[in-house]
């Protein structure tokens, strides 16, 4: 389980996270929704140890990671898979080399075993035969799928998806969502997805948390969030413009 | 809690203080970055493939520009030094004058400036783009140290390639001086090379060698640091690249003076 307690973060005078609390159950798909620029990605970076909070704690299975450094933090990160917003594939490597990279560098397994696992990982995301291509030679949707294959190839316990469908057409958005759901059923990892794809994201979530102005304002199963009486949640789900606030 | 604004008369002190803190902070980050890089260099696992790739990137791909600038520097030196020496009837010393200028001073400095312009800027831009596209973050969350993959191989490659590039620059430059002095202006080949053997000794060669080694470290350190700490977007990468080239070039010239004062 991931537990976040009283997380606070400011950049200069701008407060991005203000006493944020959240629990992510083991083996569940938890989706963080919220407006662009609302601190979702910054929150995610706290969970993966890329940003340190000004106050508060992040606990992964009871271990506080907020002040961990070096090997201790790496030990936690070895349990992670992360799909970045833009994919973050290494430009100089082919798709297959990208997927093979964490295997080659983190696990001491023979080259033929790595090749088999890379082939299987690419097949799982429906990308057989693109292994030799460079990331620049494939479409945005394919890049996202290669990034998912790379994040899952080491069979992590916890997978973070930072807006995995941003910039994709509706068909690809659904394709990626169903891919996440399918892979989750197969590997039973704990997933934390940051997204603002409404309402598609409700189909894959076990729990949805709404992040607004640095706080979680509502958390619950998708049905409860969709039926929420909270004005901020309703406005976000319905996509009502800002001017409707206060009406 | 909001801070109370200072009295107008004290504001200049506030500005100077903030600026001083900022400079000290930057220097501290610059220093700790180098220490982190050194730790990554001396502790296993060593990334041989990345090191060879960086030698190709910094050294091999700079060969053409080194050969071209080296040849023309030698030719200009040959022409100008000959025209000066001939006034004193000392044109026999053209060979040592060209060789000493190149080996002790111009070879290390100009080769370093050329490699900075070609490979240093590219190094900053490449690492900068990796930073803004989250590729460095991807390495970090894979529990892999980006210093080991990106910075340590670059600094090691700088250590190896800068002396080699300098040696090539010197050789081609001496040959350029020969072309002008001997083939164009009629000095005898024996005089050109013979006097060179008399006046150039190992001490001069080692002076150029140590300079080039230190320039290799300085340039790769500055360029990787600027790439690692790039700002936002394309503008941030452009600014970091410019800063890396300017700072490296200035440091090469400043450090050259200090090395020239220390070395025999």
Among chain A residues, CA nearest to B45:
A105
Q: Tell me which fold the domain A1-79+157-167+175-247 belongs to.
A: Rossmann fold (3.40.50)
Query: Which of B130, B141, B143 has the CB atom closest to A50's CB atom?
Result: B141
* Residue whose entry in the numeric block shows the structure tokens 């004290």: B10
Task: Find out whether A142 and A150 touch, Cβ atoms under 8 Å.
Answer: no
Residue B168 parent element (H or E): helix B152-178
3-state secondary structure of A47: helix
Which residues 6+ apart lie within 8 Å of A138 measured at CB?
Answer: A95, A130, A146
CA of B34 to nearest chain A CA: how many angstroms apart?
17
Cβ–Cβ of A88/B140 closer than 8 Å? no
Among chain A residues, CA nearest to B46:
A105
pLDDT tens for B117-146 read 999 999 999 999 999 999 999 999 999 999
Tally the C-alpha atoms within 13 A of residue A76's C-alpha that lie toward its C-beta: 22
Structure tokens at B97: 């004058």
* Residue whose entry in the numeric block shows the structure tokens 């996270």: A17
Rounded Cα distance between A139 and A130, Å, is: 11
CA of B1 to nearest chain A CA: how many angstroms apart?
11
Cβ–Cβ of B135/A89 closer than 8 Å? yes
Please report the sign of the dihedral spanned by the C-alpha atoms of residue A89, residue A94, residue A100, residue A101: negative
Ordered per-residue pLDDT tens for chain A, 247 residues: 899 999 999 998 899 999 999 999 999 999 999 988 888 989 999 999 999 999 999 999 999 999 898 889 999 999 999 999 889 999 999 999 999 999 998 887 899 999 999 999 999 888 888 999 999 999 988 999 999 999 999 999 999 999 888 878 888 888 889 889 999 999 899 999 998 888 888 889 999 999 999 999 999 999 999 999 999 999 988 887 875 444 4
Structure tokens at B250: 């200035």
A193: left (phi over 0), alpha (psi -120 to 50) or beta: beta
Does A48 contact chain B (CB < 8 Å)?
yes
Does A143 contact chain B (CB < 8 Å)?
no
Rounded Cα distance between B56 and B41, Å, is: 18
Cβ–Cβ of A49/B141 closer than 8 Å? yes
**String of DSSP letters for A9-76:** EEETTEEEEEEEEEEE-TT-EEEEE--TTSSHHHHHHHHTTSS--SEEEEEETTEE-TT--HHHHHHH
Of A53, A29, A55, nearest to A43 (Cα)? A53
Does B52 contact chain A (CB < 8 Å)?
no
Residue A18 parent element (H or E): strand A14-24
Predicted TM-score (pTM) of this structure:
0.88
Which residue ranges does chain A devote to CATH 3.40.50.300? Answer: 1-79+157-167+175-247
Cβ–Cβ of B134/A84 closer than 8 Å? yes
Of A18, A89, A43, nearest to A192 (Cα)? A43
ipTM for the assembly: 0.90
Q: What DSSP state is assigned to residue A242? A: G
Cβ–Cβ of B141/A101 closer than 8 Å? no
* Residue whose entry in the numeric block shows the structure tokens 């600014």: B239
How many other CB atoms sit within 10 Å of the CB of residue B240? 25
Query: Which of A49, A75, A88 has the CB atom closest to B134's CB atom?
Result: A88
């Amino acid at each position: 389980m991931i537990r976040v307690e009283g997380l606070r973060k400011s950049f200069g005078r701008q407060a991005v996270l203000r006493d944020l609390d959240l629990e992510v159950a083991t083996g569940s798909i938890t989706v963080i929704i919220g407006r662009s620029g609302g601190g979702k990605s910054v929150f995610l970076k706290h969970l993966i140890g890329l940003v340190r909070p000004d106050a508060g704690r992040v606990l992964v299975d009871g271990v506080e990671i907020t002040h961990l450094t070096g090997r201790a933090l790496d030990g936690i990160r070895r349990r992670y898979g992360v799909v970045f917003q833009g994919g973050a594939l290494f430009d100089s490597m082919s798709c297959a080399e990208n997927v093979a990279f964490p295997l080659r560098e983190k696990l001491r397994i023979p080259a033929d075993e790595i090749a088999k696992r890379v082939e299987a990982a690419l097949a799982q995301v429906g990308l057989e035969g693109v292994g030799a291509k460079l990331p620049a030679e494939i479409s945005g949707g394919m890049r996202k799928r290669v990034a998912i294959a790379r994040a899952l190839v080491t069979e992590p316990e916890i997978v973070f998806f930072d807006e995995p469908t941003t910039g994709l057409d509706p068909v690809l958005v659904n394709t990626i969502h169903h891919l996440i759901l399918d892979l989750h059923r197969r590997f039973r990892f704990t997933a934390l997805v940051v997204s603002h794809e409404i309402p598609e994201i409700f189909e894959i979530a076990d729990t949805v948390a709404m992040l607004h102005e640095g706080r979680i304002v509502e958390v619950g199963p998708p049905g409860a969030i969709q039926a929420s009486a909270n004005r901020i949640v309703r406005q976000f789900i319905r996509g009502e413009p800002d001017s409707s606030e206060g009406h | 809690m909001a801070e109370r604004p200072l009295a107008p008369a004290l504001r200049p002190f506030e500005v100077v203080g903030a600026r001083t803190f900022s400079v000290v902070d930057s220097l501290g980050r610059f220093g700790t970055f180098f220490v982190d890089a050194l730790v990554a260099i001396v502790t296993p696992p060593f990334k041989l493939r990345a090191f060879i790739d960086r030698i190709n990137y910094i050294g091999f791909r700079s060969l053409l520009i080194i050969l071209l600038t080296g040849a023309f520097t030698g030719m200009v030196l040959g022409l100008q030094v000959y025209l000066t020496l001939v006034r004193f009837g000392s044109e026999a010393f053209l060979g040592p004058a060209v060789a000493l200028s190149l080996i002790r001073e111009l070879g290390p400095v100009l080769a370093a400036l050329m490699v900075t312009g070609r490979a240093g800027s590219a190094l900053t831009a490449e690492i900068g783009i990796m930073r803004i596209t989250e590729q460095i973050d991807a390495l970090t969350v894979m529990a892999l140290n980006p210093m080991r993959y990106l910075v340590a191989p670059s600094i090691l490659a700088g250590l190896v390639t800068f002396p080699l590039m300098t040696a090539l620059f010197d050789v081609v430059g001496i040959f350029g001086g020969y072309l002008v002095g001997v083939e164009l202006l009629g000095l005898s080949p024996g005089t050109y090379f013979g006097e060179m053997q008399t006046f150039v000794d190992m001490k001069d060669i080692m002076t150029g060698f140590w300079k080039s080694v230190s320039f290799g470290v300085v340039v790769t350190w500055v360029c990787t640091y600027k790439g690692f700490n790039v700002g936002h977007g394309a503008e941030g990468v452009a600014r970091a690249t410019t800063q890396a080239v300017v700072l490296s070039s200035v440091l090469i010239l400043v450090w050259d003076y200090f090395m020239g004062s220390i070395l025999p």
